[in-house]
Each structure stands twice: as structure tokens, then as C-alpha cells.
Amino acid sequence: MDEMWSRVYCKKTPCWLWHAINHESGEVVAFVFGTREHDVLWELLGLLYSLNVEIVKVYSDDNFAYHDAVPKNVLWTGKKNTQKIERKHLTFRTRLKRLARKTICYSKSIEMHTILFGLLINTLEFGLQLF
């Protein structure tokens, strides 16, 4: 699990993408957009539990929210195990201009931001050509 920031509406409104990938295959399992607070992480964990996914290990950075939401025997922090998800961040930022750090391209609403990211996931992960 990891989080990645982008902008929605203007430069002053950050939006955080929280997502989880399968550590072995690298596929995105679930994602949620929101703030960088506990509520959004709980929403992501709720999505994972609704998929009946057994969470054996959670690799993440040292964000405070993970320490509160994920049991200590399951949580592993550090850069060594987050290389795959950080590589996903670079791919997402390269393929979708709205996720780039220095850009003048923003989504007007969180709904459109979520839809475009979902289309990107479908294209990259599953090879679905929608156009």
C-alpha cells in the first residue's frame, strides 16, 4: 500500500491516491482518492476486506495512518519493499498528465479524476482498449 498526491480543481487542492497492489504480481487490487488521513485508509481497507482478500503482509512507507490502521504483526515499513508500488507511481505520472507533479492540467472534479484513473488502470493492467 502507498499513497501518491495529485491536484484536483487547482494548485491549492491536493488529492491523495491511496492504492494497494499485489506484491507478487504487481497488479492494482484497490484504490481510493481522498485526503491523507485515516478515513481514506479505512475506506481502502474496507474495499480490500469486501473482496475477501487475505492480507498477510502490508508493505508501506512510514506514514502515521498505517501504524494506526494496520496490525503491527502485518505491517512492514521501509523503502526496500515499496519499490514496485513506487515504480507504479512513475508509470501513472508518465501516462496520465493529470497526475504529473508540475502541470497545468487538472481534473475539475474528484469524480472525473477517479474515472480517468480507473480507465488508466483498465488500460495498463488489463489491456482494455476503450477508444
Is 59 inside a domain boundary? yes
pTM of this structure: 0.77
Whether 131 has a pLDDT exceeding 60, the answer reads: no
> Alpha helices, DSSP H only, in 51-82?
64-69
Alpha helices in 1-131, H assignment, sequence order: 38-50, 64-69, 83-95, 110-126
Residue whose C-alpha cell is 475539475 = 108
- The answer to whether residue 129 scores a pLDDT higher than 80 is no
Q: Which domain holds residue 18?
A: 2-126
Answer positive or negative: Cα dihedral of 54, 60, 65, 67: positive
CATH number, position 98:
3.30.420
The answer to whether 88 and 28 have CB atoms below 8 angstroms apart is yes
On the question of pLDDT at 43 being above 80, the answer is yes
Cα of 34 vs its chain's centroid, Å: 10
Domain count, the chain: 1
Residue 131 lies in a domain: no
| pLDDT tens per residue across span 87-106 | 888 888 877 776 766 666 66
Whether residue 63 is contained in a domain is answered as yes
